[in-house]
Structure 1
Amino acid sequence: MTRLILMCGLPGTGKTTLAKQLEAAVPAVRLCPDDWLSDLDIDLFDLGKRARLEEVFWRLAQDLLRLGQSVILESGFWSRVDRDEKRLGGQALGAAVELRYLHAPMAELMRRVADRTGRGTVPLTYEQMAFYEEIFQIPDPAEQALFDAPAHLA
């Protein structure tokens, strides 16, 4: 069955690592705004360009789902409204829609962010991460129940 997989969580939770594993296992097309912005030499904190890119990704994801191709959207999905839009849109196209919510304690997130900063990614401060944690809307069990169970992959 065609699947739309939403990678949900703060920076450092392991979204990209899991998305890359799923990309091969499902198989699926993985759309990651951070990768594209970086490849195009666009500031990852340019919210206008990020929003436009995510709109393009959503249109592309819908086209791919219509063609029977599974898709992984790696946008973090910090708001319930955004998750609801993608869930309802994917279901309307006949796709199973998974929410892969990843979480880690702040100390672990900061350790992971610092580690990957050493490998060339954009550094994030504790203040930025604390703000992100404050505005992130955690998907509660009732919301998570609206999504399809993750596929069991060999």
Structure 2
Amino acid sequence: MGRVPRLILLCGLPCAGKTTLAKRLEREVPAVRLCPDEWISDLGVDLFDEAFRDRLERRFRRLARDLLLLGQDVVLEFGFWSRAERDELRDMARALGVPVQLRFLDVPFDELVRRLDVRNRTDALVVITEEQMAGYAQVFEAPDEAELSQYD
């Protein structure tokens, strides 16, 4: 029997380090890395176009499933702000018999804002304000220990 692929979900707010970790995992695992922000930007679409983002992320979910069935490790760099979203991907992977990891990048808000300031001045795909970040932090559903224990 061949090697079993794995699905790796990266969970965290903007500036938590998801892309840095995803790029490292892409090389080290190796894995196919799917990052909606990069695709949206490359396609010239507004990063805040939620309808487009939803369609793209649905497509990436199907692509991830297909890649896993082919034996390829996959890193999804969606942020996974809601428990329901994380549960959906975990259930999909488990239905395929694939281990799934959740990497939660838990960064204090003050550090996120510091990183945001640096990113906004240097290499941001889009500028995010501190006020937007505060709003994101309010709706973000951080995984607790009970949820984290459900992953491989």
Q: 1:146 aligns with which of 114, 129, 150?
A: 150
Q: 2:55 aligns with which of 21, 46, 52?
A: 52
* Partner of residue 65 from structure 2, selected from 53, 58, 62: 62
**Structure 2 gap ranges (5+):** none
Query: If the length of structure 1 is used for normalisation, what is the TM-score?
Result: 0.94
Query: Percent same amino acid at aligned positions?
Result: 58
Alignment of 1:129 with 2:133, yes or no, is yes
Determine the structure 1 residue equivalent to 2:95: 92
Q: Is 1:27 aligned to 2:30, yes or no?
A: yes
CA contact (8 A) 1:37 1:43 kept: yes
Superposed CA offset, 1:23-68 (max 9, x none): 1111100000000001001111110100000000000000000000
Letter in 1 for 2:131: E
Amino acid in structure 2 at the alignment position of 1:4: L
Q: 1:75 aligns with which of 67, 75, 78?
A: 78
Deviation at 1:127, TM superposition (A): 1.1
Task: Give distance in 1, aligned partners of 2:131 and 2:111.
Answer: 15
C-alpha root-mean-square deviation of aligned residues, in Å?
0.8
Give the Cα–Cα distance (whole angstroms) in 1 for the partners of residues 119 and 98 of structure 2. Answer: 33
SS in structure 2 opposite 1:75?
A: strand
